Amino acid sequence: MAIESINPATNKLLRSFEPLTNQAARQKIALAADAFRAYGNVPLDHRALWMRKLAAILEQETNDLAALITLEMGKPLEAARFEILKCADVCRYYADHAARILAPESIPTEPNYSYVRWDPLGIVLAVMPWNFPFWQVFRFLAPALMAGNVALLKHASNVPQCSLAIEALVRRAGFPRGTFQSLLLEVSQVEAILGDERIAAVTLTGSETAGRAIGAQAGWLIKKSVLELGGSDPFIVMPSADLDLAIETAVRARCVNSGQSCIAAKRFIIADEIYDAFESRFVQGMEAVRVGDPMKAGTEIGPLATVRALDLLEAQVKAAVRVGARILTGGERMLGEGNYFEPTVLAGVPRTSAVYREELFGPVAMLFRVQDLNEAIEIANDTPFGLAASAWTRDPAEQQRLVAELQCGGVFLNTMVASDPRLPFGGIKRSGYGRELSAAGMREFLNAKTVLIASAEPAKSHPE
């Protein structure tokens, strides 16, 4: 079955690719294994040189690469440019900081000498999603290659051109052949790839379904895995918040990437005292968001990436209405060509309903009125997900409670949730496990090797 690149703004076929045969995939694994044996001897300074060259190419070719993203998955062009520049930033971050992160850690164990050294694991399989087709890959690629690992990328089937472009960029930057390869595969082929004994570890960003499959197989094979799955992030606003800034940010936080982001704010939990003002102005803000051709300047929301994503979001909104939710604005797919859905605000979604516990992957927000901070925290935590949370309050005591009691991988006070190369990124509960970015992300695919060198002097005996 062909792997197709389809423009979601028109649903017209851009290009079609034949998936790799199983034999061709095994040859790429063999090439990666050979590359790893040699790559471990490459000085860190050389890797950093190539990584900085990669950042420079990304910056030089931002417009062309951004256009490719927009064509394949519908992200507004300005957002696609930002994504490419963020990839350049993460390349430079790891080029600058790898030596510090990888430095051996001395541990006092007198009279012996002990330290921990960080060794690469080998070939890491990356199974990546379509919503940030460059950024999701680069936030893994940069630390993995700087650490001395090599990588195989199984990208989402609807962004094959982005996948191939990334491999070409890595090679042009100077990285040796085989250190990073794109595998155009069908989903059914992934099991055999991960099962190959030469694959040391796997990282996946994607759906719960994919995470369960990959995590289960990796566990059975006893291979290291990192899973970054879905999210239903709360956006909490308390009475002391800067309401103007909170509302402005709330609209952006729900509509980032046309609402197709795991860390987009999805559940808006608002204190009763300010709820009415927030609701009316938030609805106005959602109605003012510009939906249209993602290639045109000024467009803030483009099409959803696939027809399947559009159908699912429409079904979820209809399911919410059937159980009593009210549509304050939007609620329908938009007529004409392309996978467009109206910016939508729902209120009164019952906490007993199925949709309450699901992730809405598109420009649809759910509003909840709460009486106090206790109820806000209760609702925020009443989700199977635990990726991140944005909380708005100027009260120091409330801030302390939110930081301590919210069940998630990150709490952002008085700002929207965003990833940053300097900070660990990941979640808990059904949002997955492990971390990306920062030193923590780099070390996920390193062996913390303990080294102890005995003292020449005999150790003193100790009483039992």
Residues taking part in catalysis: 228, 262
For residue 306, report the phi and psi dihedrals to the nearest 5 degrees.
Answer: -140, 160
CA-CA distance, 446 to 144, in Å (whole number)?
9
Tell me how crowded residue 127 is: count the other CB atoms within 10 A of its CB: 25
- Listing DSSP states for 94-126 in one string gives HHHHHHHHHS-EEEEETTEEEEEEEEE-SEEEE
CA-CA distance, 150 to 126, in Å (whole number)?
10
- Listing DSSP states for 53-93 in one string gives HHHHHHHHTHHHHHHHHHHHH---HHHHHHHHHHHHHHHHH
Residues with Cβ within 8 Å of residue 257, at least 6 apart in sequence: 75, 79, 131, 132, 264
The tokens describing 366, both together, are 């759910």
CA-derived radius of gyration, the chain: 24
Q: Which of 441, 430, 451, 448 is nearest to 215 (CA)?
A: 430
Distances (CA, A) of 259 to 252, 255, 340, 367: 9, 4, 12, 15
Q: Which of 448, 431, 412, 36 is nearest to 226 (CA)?
A: 431
On whether the CB atoms of residues 35 and 122 are closer than 8 A, the answer is: no
On whether the CB atoms of residues 327 and 321 are closer than 8 A, the answer is: yes
SS3 label, residue 451: strand
The tokens describing 359, both together, are 């992730």
Sign (positive or negative) of CA dihedral 248, 250, 253, 259: negative
Strand segments, DSSP code E, in 197-285 are 199-205, 224-228, 233-237, 265-271
